[in-house]
Structure 1
Amino acid sequence: MERRKFIGALSFAGILGTLIPQRILADEKHEPSVYAKNDRDYWYKLLYKIAGPVVHNLANGTLIKNMPLEKSPTFDSRSPSVTYLEAVGRTYAGIAPWLALPDDETKEGILRKSFRNEAIKGLNKCFTPGSADALNFSKDHQPIVDAAYLAQAFLRAPKALWEPLEAQTKTNIITSFKSLRNRKPFKSNWLLFGSITEAFLLTIGEEPDTVRLNEGPKMLNEWYKGDGWYGDGPNYAFDYYNSFVIHSMMVDTLAIMAAKNLVEQKVYDLALKRMQRHAVGQERMISPEGTYPPIGRSITYRTGAFQVLAQVSLMEKLPAGIKPAQVRCALTKVKQNMYETPGTFDKNGWLQLGFCGHEPEIADYYTSTGSLYMATLSFLPLGLPADHEFWTGAPVAWTAKQAWAGKGFAKDYHVDY
């Protein structure tokens, strides 16, 4: 596999110094895990390190030129070109809440503004017909998935990512999203991809495909198994798809439908309660050492597995008994364990196939480089301001760490909703 040079060395300082004025990080010369001032400092620098190659290259019109195309050894017959829309949709869904914060003159704020400007520039470029980075919406079913993540990004940051776009870019995005209506999502979590894309179109005054809008929430409710777990289709799957997709897109879609009086408020409230219940399990699955089980499909999406816990934190809807600081501490430790493992990034800063390091053989048949940027979905709490309790609260041991230290912790019980 050919890996083209992107921007210097792997270190965060090397990447950052290339993309923004040197004065911003004049004193940053080391990896953030060692020299970060605090957890937030570590998080935003790590998110920038992960997402930077995608956003920067998209802004320069060089995403397709420079992004390495590493595929699973068992990659199927879909067009490899789907990987670029995967990278864009998933990355933007993860960075959107952070970019939505207001500008300020802190080091983080200056970086965030620069990154937001690049993100907007990149979207204007890749939705220009004939551009070097024009994204594939016409081949295969895969674009249904990643149009949904891009739609979710716009829902998470409408003023930061949607409103500033050029008028023609907006028209081209709407046309691209509507073009997917000639392909039906599979009878699985995919139904929610169609639903959230239509929900986004509804928010900007476009007429939605009502069948597609309603089918996701309807079928997933029929497949609900209890205690915070939906089936992925009629069968139960013990993996992370309830977090990668189901709870997040169910809640975000129903929020729009409830606001438009297309469903009763109690339908949304129930979906949120189920999401909160799932978050309880997610927090308890993080070991005292900051690891979690490599269970099921798509484990190469890495910390995207914790989108539910991240999103309820962003929404300030953590279940009773879970303090924001314990989520912060737990996820920080997971990120350190995962992203500081050699082989996670290639020499130019792109994510590589693997769970903890570079392990192409564990990638699923639908997985390529762009797929991996689901990892950004665990960074949603960066959308909370720096003075929020999530960031300022004193360190707190998470549940498993308390339990295995022989300290008191809350017991857990099944719920009936």
Structure 2
Amino acid sequence: MSATTPDYPVDDRRELVGWYFYDWANSVFSTTVVTVFLGPYLTAVARAAADSEGFVYPLGIPLAAGSFFAYMVSLSVLLQVFFLPILGAIADYSRAKKLFMGIFAYIGAFATMGLYFLEGDRYLLGGGLFVIANLAFGASMVFYNAFLPEIASPDKRDEASSKGWALGYLGGGLLLLLNLILFNNAEALGIEESMAVRISLASAGVWWAIFTLIPLATIRTRGAVRRLPPGERYITVGFKQLVHTFKQMRHNGHMLLFLVAYLLYNDGIQAVIALAALFGAEELGLPQGVLIPAILMVQFVAFFGALLFGWIAQRIGAKRAIAASLVIWTAVVIYGYFMPAEVPAQFFLLAAVIALVLGGSQAISRSLFSQMIPEGQEAEYFSIYEVGERGTSWLAPLFFGLAYQITGSYRIALVSLMVFFISGLLVLLMVNVRRAIEEAGNRVPERV
């Protein structure tokens, strides 16, 4: 059974701007919570609860307090791998992407607000809230991304994806700046540093909740609203739909080839993001007073980088734009190998170049993948895209760690990441983008 909904136009400016604002809303979780404040603070709380040997015992399992946050990150990713494809299939079948996006956005936002109560030895509270928030964040992003093929035409999709990503960097950077000002002036304001951290964590949840109202008010549901057949439940329909999708994907070899390329080069990108501060501190001898401003600068420069690559993709095609970004990424890690120690200006220059290609390579990848998705299966395919990304995100950090363990050099460890950019580029060059789009039954844009 189904009920029809109005056939709304694509490229509607009001709807696109509303869609961009979900990137603005949720990026604060990645910057303020995950990148800067929660890891060190939750680790300190876990250490306060640890025994004399430095262990905590959630559910009776001995865990090193210093590893607790990393384990919570891994657990949340594992749960995403299990849940996201089923949720995507259910959302596509029911045409309830907007409802699902809203539900998971507010679950994540309220769990993030709850981190305000993380103090003393409440490490289990912090770990549990983070797992819920990170799982909800990943789920909401699946449904958010799945709207892109519906609201933007093929020729406008690179531009739309880039603007959303750019606004996300701007929003994430703005709240992080405000929170760093609060943290650095906590004593002058008469509050403890721990209170400043808790306020910063909660502020990310409040920001996320408030600005999510904009996309929920402007994005419109398209297509037939399907109801369950007699005797069926959404969970069983979701599994059946997912099995059908995996069978269908086998017939679009170039889409699968692009997905492999993306998983390779994006793993390298994520590793550079995660390990750049470690490289700066340990190998280049740079203090936190240099590293934190550099992280903050990346957020704002990446705003312009995402817009720049959206403009480039419109003129030379998305595949060529991504390929160009991978050449720059390779040059970045090679330059890092030769960079002199204790020269902050060169580290800032390197960070600025990373920022320029960071948002662009990811935004254009999102829009290009959206061209390869069969109509009506957007959430399913983006759930697989998200799961694939997170399911392989341990490879490049492991490669980095092994390179350091074998050589004792962070420089060699950093330059070793070029393997992911070069291999991703080589696989990308094998992708026939036009054929992948045609195999999905979609219109090929003027430039691909």
- TM-score above 0.5: no
More helix by share: 2
TM-score under structure 1 length normalisation: 0.25
TM-score under structure 2 length normalisation: 0.24
Q: Based on CA coordinates, which of the two structures has the bigger radius of gyration? A: 2
Higher RCO, Cα 8 Å, sep 6+: 2
